[in-house]
Structure 1
Amino acid sequence: MILIISSPDDAVTIDFVRPKVEARGVPVLWWDEDQYPAHSRLTVAIDEAGCRQILKHNGQTYDLADVTTVWDRRPSPIQVGDLVTDKDYRAYAELVAGRFRDGFWDLLPARWMPAKPTRALPADNKLFHLAKAAELGFTVPQTIFTNDPDELIPAWNRTGGQAISKALTYRDFFIYGDQHLLYTTRVQRRHLAGRHRIQHAPVILQPDIAKAAELRVTVVADQIFAAEFDSQSSRLTAQDSRRYDDNSVTYRAVELPDDVAKRCLDLTSALGLNFGAIDLIRRKDGEYVFLEVNVNGQWGFIETLTGLPISDAIADWLTADEPVTQDATKEDAR
């Protein structure tokens, strides 16, 4: 059985793969962590005979000994539930539930994509994987990670006033009720006067590299799927490709130089990942520059726009240890 851990909002991506898994006669259990502990029950029984792990949800009981592979896609945060109203006890319940969940997954003897959560979390840290990429021979931007306001002006001067800032993690937040999402931003001279603000939330400072093109390289185990796109053809994506402008930007499948492809495989392997979405820049002189690796980065749009068979590779990997039967069994515990 394949266990998919992801939000129902992730259906667009899941549905690239799940039908291909089920067509091979492999049962799929789709469950989201926001069901725990309010609506789902997790149990671990340990004795001399070994360890038994049980998931109960929607009146069904699942023995997770049947799980050969886990696809840890986009889980939602755990939810204690509305019945716990005391703030202090709620904080305690969330802490205990989270610790138990972490141990529960660590004990599960299955193959994981991209990796077990305790391994994927440090791999997803931009400090760690940028340092590892440099160690493996990637060209990387000269980068400062800091919350020291005194570092901003020297970093800006080193780039001749062509510095950019990035957030350490990609998530939205609210200020006085207004939603904000931080994209890559050019550091203007006027920003230097407000440099004291970075003491509260560390930032990434890098030179603004002139781009011939950008690439999303999707690694699935030992397979590489590289897509190049002209982010500079749109004002929206010129600074940050996550602003997506698919009507103006052309995507195409490409072959990476052998040395770059090897570094991509070496990096995901060194990080302990069975999946990674790597972002690169191709400079105008032809040099490839590493930006980051997303341990669960989006790839469905790449498959749609280029035809690269990423979902086939994921389905192959997920079912590699499963006996294939003729009749598909569908289970959905969302």
Structure 2
Amino acid sequence: MILILSASDDRSVDLVAPKLTARGAEFLWWDSGEFPAESRFVSRLSDGGGWQHLLRTGGREYDTTAFTAVWNRRPSNPRAPAAVIDPSHRKYVEKLAGIFLYGWEDTLDSRWFPGRSWDLLRLQNKLLNLAAAAKLGFITPETLITNDAEELIPFWEKAGGRLIAKEVEFVGFQVEGAEHVFYSTPVTRRHLTDRSRLDLSPAILQPYVEKSIELRVTVVGEQVFAAEIHSQGSRATKYDYRHYEQTFSKYGIHRLPADVEKRCLALTAALGLPYGCIDLILTPEGEYVYLEINPSGQWGWIEASTGLPISDAIADWLVAAEPVESL
């Protein structure tokens, strides 16, 4: 049996679930955001030191040791029961629930796709995966990560005034109640005069790399799916195609050179990942430049735009350890 950890409205799971059914696989789609508000766990430690974790949800009980694979897709954060009204109490309850879930993950001996939550948080860190990619021979931009505003002007000058600023992690935030995200942004002279803002939090600074096209490379097990993103056709997507994803850019299938494909597989293997979304730039000179890997990156829009069978590859990986019924 397969466990899918993700929000109930996850369209990526909607793409894979029918293919699991077609392969005869039984699965539970559960969102940990239901815990502890709606779901229950009962965990018992045996004399031999092994845990038995029983998950009670949707009127059924599941022995989680029976799950052969866990797809840790995009679960919601734990949610306290509605009876917990005080905000500080809710925060306390939900923090304890999260700590329990991390322990449950660590003591659940199943195949994890792409990995346990703590591992994914660590591996998506750009300091870690940029270094790993460089060691494997990827071309990587010179990178400065700092919250020291006095470092900005010298690095900007070294880059010939063509510098890109990025977040250490792509996360949303609020300013006076309004939602914001920070996309990759060229550093202008105006930013230099206002550089004290860099003291507030660390940012990634890299020389701008000229793009012919951008590539989203999705690795599933030993399969590599490379998609072209023609982001340079519009000023809106020139620096960061995510800003207007699927609005201005065109997409296509790309054939990677053998050595680049091998490096992509070597990178996921080195990080201990059976899955990863790798972002590359193809320069006008034909060089492939590494940007980052996202261990739980989105892929549904790539499949929809190109027809690459990523959902089939994920389904095949998940059912690989399922018992085969004898005829």
Q: TM-score range by the shorter chain?
A: over 0.9
Post-superposition CA distance 1:175-196 (Å, at most 9, x none): 1111111111111101112211
What per-residue deviation string (whole Å, max 9, x for no partner) do you get for residues 274-324 of structure 1?
A: 100000000111110000001111111111111111111111000001125
Between the two structures, name the one with larger relative contact order (CA 8 Å, sep ≥ 6): 1
* Per-residue deviation, residues 213-233 of structure 1 (Å, max 9, x unmatched): 100000001110011121101
* Secondary structure of the corresponding residue to residue 94 of structure 1: helix
1:46 to 2:40 alignment: no
Query: Distance in 2 between the 1:244 and 1:262 partners?
Result: 31
Q: Check the 8 A contact 2:102/2:118 in 1, yes or no.
A: yes
**Does residue 1:9 correspond to 2:17, yes or no?**
no
Partner of 2:278: 278
May I ask how many residue pairs the two structures share in their alignment? 325
Residue 48 of structure 1 aligns with an amino acid whose one-letter code is D
DSSP-derived class of the 2:183 partner: coil
Q: Which amino acid letter does the alignment assign opposite residue 316 of structure 1?
A: D
Q: Displaced runs of 4+ in structure 1, greater than 4 A? A: none
Percent identity of equivalent pairs? 50
- Tell me what 1:330 maps to: none
CA distance in 2, matches of 1:325, 1:231: 48
Aligned residues of 2:77 and 2:98 also touching (Cα < 8 A): no
- Seen in structure 2, the aligned counterparts of structure 1 residues 304 and 90 have a Cα distance that, compared at 3 Å, is closer
Range with greater deviation from structure 2 (48-57 or 280-289): 48-57
Q: 1:1-334 counterparts in 2 under 5 A? A: 1-10=1-10, 12-48=11-47, 50-246=50-246, 248-324=248-324
Report the counterpart of residue 332 of structure 1 in structure 2. none
Verify the 8 A CA contact 2:241 2:249 in the aligned structure 1.
Answer: no
> How far apart are residue 88 of structure 1 and its match?
4.3
Deviation at 1:13, TM superposition (A): 1.0
- Counterpart of 1:133 in 2: which secondary structure? helix
Native 8 Å contact 1:24 1:324 kept in 2: no
Report the CA distance between 1:26 and its aligned residue: 1.1
The root-mean-square deviation of aligned C-alpha atoms, in Å, is 1.6
Alpha-carbon shift at residue 34 of structure 1 (Å) = 1.0
210-219 vs 16-25, greater mean Cα deviation: 16-25
- Would you say the 8 A contact 1:36–1:80 is kept in 2? yes
1:76-131, Cα deviation, whole Å (9 max, x unpaired): 11112332234444443233222111010111111011112222221111111111
* Displacement after TM superposition at 1:32 (Å): 0.8
Cα distance between partner residues in 2 of 1:124 and 1:173:
19
CA-CA distance at 1:246 after TM superposition: 3.2
Structure 1, unmatched stretches of 5+, are 327-334
| DSSP-derived class of the 2:9 partner | helix
Please give the TM-score of this superposition, normalised by the length of structure 2: 0.95
Q: 1:150 to 1:69 in 2, by over 3 A?
A: same
Cα distance in 1 for residues equivalent to 2:41 and 2:238: 46
2:118 and 2:135 map into 1 onto residues whose CA distance is 22
Say which SS state the counterpart of residue 194 (structure 2) adopts. Answer: helix
Residues 120 and 296, structure 2, Cα contact 8 Å, conserved in 1: no
CA contact (8 A) 2:213 2:231 kept: yes
TM-score (norm 1): 0.93
Gaps of 5+ in 2: none
User: What amino acid maps onto 2:312 in structure 1?
Assistant: D
Aligned-partner SS, 1:8 = coil
Counterpart of 2:112 in 1: which secondary structure? Answer: strand
Instruction: Name the CA distance, whole Å, in 2 between partners of 1:18 and 1:262.
Output: 30
